[in-house]
Amino acid sequence: MATSAALRAPNTFRAGPDERGRFGIFGGRFVAETLMPLILDLERAYEAAKTDPAFHAEMNHWRTHYVGRPSPLYFARRITEHLGGAKVYFKRDELNHTGSHKINNCLGQILLAKRMGKTRIIAETGAGQHGVAAATVSAQFGLPCTVYMGSKDIDRQAPNVFRMKLLGAEVRPVESGSRSLKDALNEALRDWVTNVADTFYIIGTAAGPHPYPAMVRDFQCIIGEEVRTQIAEAEGRLPDSLVACIGGGSNAIGLFHPFLDDPSVRIIGVEAAGRGIETGEHAASLTAGRPGVLHGNRTYLLQDDDGQIKEAHSISAGLDYPGIGPEHAWLKDTGRAEYVAATDAEALEAFKLCARLEGILPALEPAHALAHVIKIAPTLPKDHIIVMNLCGRGDKDVFSIAQHLGADL
Amino acid sequence: MSSRIAACFAALRKEGRAGLITFLTAGDPDRATSLAILQGLARAGADVIELGMPFTDPMADGPAIQAGNLRALAGGMTLKGVLDLARAFRAGDDATPLVLMGYYNPIYSYGNARFLADARAAGVDGLIIVDLPPEEDDELCLPAHAAGLDFIRLATPTTDDRRLPKVLTNTSGFIYYVSITGITGTRTPRAQAVTQAVARLKRHTTLPVAVGFGIRTPADAAETARAADAAVVGSALVERCAPGGPGVVKDVLGAVAALAEGVRGARR
């Protein structure tokens, strides 16, 4: 066992993807020919930007003065005391402008869109956090923005829909398929295929065809890089565990990636178990799916025996996706990261605990991460350090949580 | 590769006319209707038959074909069911080329090697897999060639002269030119642009050039037939499957006959 694992383990977990955009067998460029020249263009433009100090200088300027980075690394004393075990830190990416980690990626992509001379932005959104972030940078950089959103998500994320409209974006409801995030992605791809000359597609998570998974990860890595510096200042050492929620997996890969080659750091991604894995109504593609090809990449998917994509379910619209970023699929198969799941009910309980003990309303997405922290922290020694990515704030969820708790607003 | 596809285009050349390629989704609106349509297509004037393998997430398709996919899936169609339909069709027609068109995941789930063997045994001649560009040729394209199936690739207005050779390299049977940037069934291409595009493709390949996306009427088909080796009609036929019921077979085959008349009457 140990030998085969050692043989399988690469020298570094941070070198991917390869030139074909693959992490092991995952990733790739499974797109229609119309889009192929566009993603090759994007790859060239991104490779050039990546090594251009001017691009990074501009990013850093906007991160500091517009997004409000670095976000704090906060010792959650009350939760730590309540759980009675490991020390729990929150990476406070919910304090970013627009209220989640999504702005990190949107900022990078819109700067790239400007460099490429694109004049129109499209995006897909589930919870609306990415849609809001895309609408925000589009407003700031003066580009028209169209956001595709499943009509089911429009109903449960009404405040974010209105925010996008206030920011000048057009929100196009998607009625096809399961009317949620995967269908919004299909519809955005259809738009891109139709408007190839002027349009830049800001994908919101670390999935899709190469180079998106790598590019989105790179833009989100600021999270983990800051944590490295901040935890060194706070504790003088590396954390023992990292915990983040996983829908497509962008906040998680941003936290995890800078630590992949530190073997002492345990890495845990938390998927949405919905009403329970055994009910089949969940969004846990790594826990309960198998490899397949969707939205331009090979990854773990929720699918039936015929390879038809199944509808995901989660209380959190942002995790309600039947796939997962390809790098997570690879990290699972190599054993470098562990993937677990938390149910709707566990996430709601975590949400309530966080509100009452810490005075923080987490988004329902990181409430899943917190639900897992609640499970493991009491079993760990007091000198064990957990860093959890609090990647979004819960203001957007207040109405749907009220509904779940039976409160009449 | 497939002798049926090669023989078909050779015969068309001899007749001095373009071909009509029809697209319908297998199992749309139900299995029995779908088979009855398949069995009548050649007599109605289809020269090559494209049979869609339904998928929940047909990303390159417009509303008409999306709906057709969902109707077929709701009726219980599976990839195994598609191969059964192909076999049933082939039992009564040993000449008309049959090409399966769709997306990669159901095939990957079925198992690539098993799928290629079963497709070949069912009498399938070629594959069009929308989300497998040349960059992913080792997945299914090269194994398909080895199994004796043509792998027909899409070329699009975004495929420039620099990229075209890459797209053509492992393409066989014919090349399918997507006449618009966009999804199926949404807008009609400009005749002049199609003529220029076909001429451009012909400078790079000796393969027959079929043109599709947005061809709806016999007049559209005739216009395409003047420029290309074949015209592909999909959405306009799939829409006729939507009502379901006993009238669908006659309605679809009537539309195919009218399109065939348009294609056959076009002077080249």
pLDDT at B212 exceeding the cut of 50: yes
Whether A277 and A394 share a structural domain? yes
Edge-to-edge strands, sheet with B230-233: B150-151, B126-129, B98-102, B48-52, B19-25, B230-233, B209-212, B175-178, B154-155
Q: Are residues A107 and A180 in the same domain?
A: yes
Residue B170's pLDDT is what?
Answer: 97
User: Looking at residue A7, what is its pLDDT?
Assistant: 56
Of the candidates A32, A194, A309, the beta carbon closest to that of B56 is on A309
Q: Among residues of chain A, what percentage have pLDDT more than 90?
A: 89
* Number of domains comprising chain A: 2
Q: Look at residue B244 in the predicted model and tell me its pLDDT.
A: 94
The answer to whether the CB atoms of B178 and A34 lie below 8 A apart is: yes
The answer to whether B194 and B213 have CB atoms below 8 angstroms apart is no
Task: Note whether residue A7 is domain-resident.
Answer: no
- Are A318 and A389 in a shared domain? yes
ipTM value of the model? 0.96
Considering A156, A186, A211, which residue would you say is the last residue of a domain? A211
Contacting A residues, span 93-152, partner chain B, CB-CB under 8 Å: none
Of A28, A36, A293, the CB nearest to B105: A293
- Give yes or no for a contact between A390 and A94, defined as CB atoms under 8 angstroms apart: yes
N-terminal to C-terminal alpha carbon distance within chain A: 56
Domain end (from A185, A211, A237): A211
Angle (nearest 5°) at CA A305 between A299 and A308: 60
Q: What is the CATH number of the domain that holds A152?
A: 3.40.50.1100
Cβ proximity of A136 and A98 under 8 Å: yes
Question: Residue A325's closest CA among A227, A210, A200?
Answer: A210
Selected residue of B79, B104, B105, B178 to mutate for chain A interface (largest A Cβ count, 10 A): B105
CA atoms within 13 A on the CB side of B82: 30
Residue range of the domain that includes A384: 69-99+217-404
Judged by DSSP in three states, A243 sits in: strand
Give per-residue pLDDT as tens, B118-176.
999 999 999 999 999 999 999 999 999 999 999 999 999 999 999 999 999 999 999 99
Q: Are residues A251 and A273 in the same domain?
A: yes
A156 lies in some domain: yes
Active site residues of B: 50, 61
- Within this chain, do residues A73 and A117 fall inside the same structural domain, yes or no? no
Quick check: is A14 in a domain?
Answer: no
**pLDDT tops 50 at residue B239:** yes
Judged against a pLDDT cut of 90, whether residue A332 lies above it is answered with yes
Domain contains A262: yes
pLDDT at A1: 43
Q: Is residue B55 within 8 angstroms of chain A, CB to CB?
A: yes
Residues of A in contact with B158 (CB under 8 A): 33-38, 196
pLDDT recorded at residue A4: 53
What is the band of A180 on the pLDDT scale with cuts at 50, 70, 90? confident
pLDDT classification of A2: cutoffs 50, 70, 90: very low
Query: Tens digits of per-residue pLDDT, A62-116?
Result: 999 999 999 999 999 999 999 999 999 999 999 999 999 999 999 999 999 999 9
The pLDDT of residue B264: 96
**Inter-chain residue contact A33 with B158, CB threshold 8 Å:** yes
Residues A351, A203 share a domain: no
Closest CA of chain A from B111, distance in Å: 10
Q: Do A267 and A243 belong together in one domain?
A: yes
Looking at the structure, tell me whether residues A283 and A391 fall in a common domain: yes
pLDDT at A399: 87
Q: At what angle do helices A212-220 and A326-334 cross, to 10 degrees?
A: 80
**Residue A399 burial by Cβ neighbours in a 10 Å radius (0-12, 13-18, 19+):** middle
Name the fold adopted by B3-265.
TIM Barrel (3.20.20)
A39/A57 same-domain check: yes
Q: Which phi and psi angles does A279 have, rounded to 5°?
A: -80, -15
Give pLDDT, residue A318.
85
Domain stops at, among A155, A188, A211: A211
Looking at the structure, do residues A93 and A106 belong to the same domain, yes or no? no
**What is the phi/psi pair of residue A66, to 5°?**
-115, -45
A276 plus A371 within the same structural domain: yes
| pLDDT tens per residue, range A246-261 | 999 999 999 999 999 9
What is the per-residue pLDDT across A34-50, written as a single tens digit (0 to 9) for each? 999 999 999 999 999 99
For the cut 50, the answer to whether the pLDDT of residue A179 exceeds it is yes
Whether the predicted pLDDT of B186 surpasses 90: no
Q: What is the mean pLDDT of chain A?
A: 95
Give me the mean pLDDT over the A351-379 stretch.
Answer: 98
Residue A258 shares a structural domain with residue A196: no
User: Tell me, what's the pLDDT at B1?
Assistant: 63
- Inter-residue contact A174 to A151 (CB < 8 Å): yes
Mean residue pLDDT of chain B comes to: 96
Q: What is the pLDDT of residue A177?
A: 82
